[in-house]
Structure 1
Amino acid sequence: MRYLVWILRLVIFVIVLLFALKNTAPVDVGLFADHVFSQVPLIVVMLAAFVLGVVFGLLIAATSMLRRRREINRLRRELARAQDALEHPQAASAPVIPDTIAPLAPL
């Protein structure tokens, strides 16, 4: 399985490399306020768009990852408290006998 993954990665890399080599033509990139970059290679523009997409994707994924990490830490603390309670039972866990017994309510 490990070799299959590496072969797949190599195939994808070769396809992306060939795509990059076919798209080296210079293009004009227009930004806001009529600011234009002239003669920028198309592959640079596509690479910049890809990198920005990856960065935004990671930022969005980071929020859920942090939420999961907080939940895992909370559950670990709760588990440690429960294990501690099992290992060291309190002396007050003996049944409490009241001085008087309340009568049962009639049905």
Structure 2
Amino acid sequence: MRYFIWAMQFIVFLLFLGFALHNSQTVSLRYFLGYEWQAPLILMLLVFFCIGAAFGLLAGLGQLLKLRREILVLKKELRNRNSVTQTGPQQPDIVL
């Protein structure tokens, strides 16, 4: 199974390499106020893919931090409950 996964990764790498080699012509990205950036198409695609991935990770970061805080609170609560059940309920001494 490991060799199959390696073979699939190699095939995907070759597909992306072929895509990059066929899209090496220079393109222009025009900004406001006359600014312009010229670079190979594959470089622009890579840059904007990385920017999109970074925005996606940042969008999920808030939810991730919220879930981690909730896990810490639940672990603390579980630890407190386990310590109470292990020591058992405290019975008052009855003196007659």
Q: TM-score range by the shorter chain?
A: 0.7 to 0.9
Unpaired stretches in structure 2, ≥5 consecutive residues = none
What residue in structure 2 maps to residue 50 of structure 1?
Answer: 49
Q: 1:102 maps to which residue?
A: none
The change in CA–CA distance for 1:13 and 1:66 in structure 2 (over 3 A counts) is same
Task: Tell me the residue number matched to 1:77.
Answer: 76
Larger radius of gyration: 1
C-alpha deviation, 1:16, in angstroms: 0.9
By how many angstroms is 1:80 displaced? 0.2
DSSP 3-state at the match of 1:27: strand
The match for 2:35 is: 35
Deviations 1:28-63 (A, max 9, x none): 11112221123x111111111111011111111222
Could you tell me the TM-score, scaled by structure 2's length? 0.81
**Two-structure CA RMSD over aligned residues (Å):** 2.0
**1:24 and 2:14 correspond:** no
Query: In proportion to residue count, which structure has more helix?
Result: 2
Tell me how many residue pairs correspond in the alignment: 93
Length-normalised TM-score, structure 1: 0.74
Find the aligned partners of 2:5 and 2:22 in 1 and give their Cα distance.
26
Identity %: 32
Tell me which residue corresponds to 1:15.
15
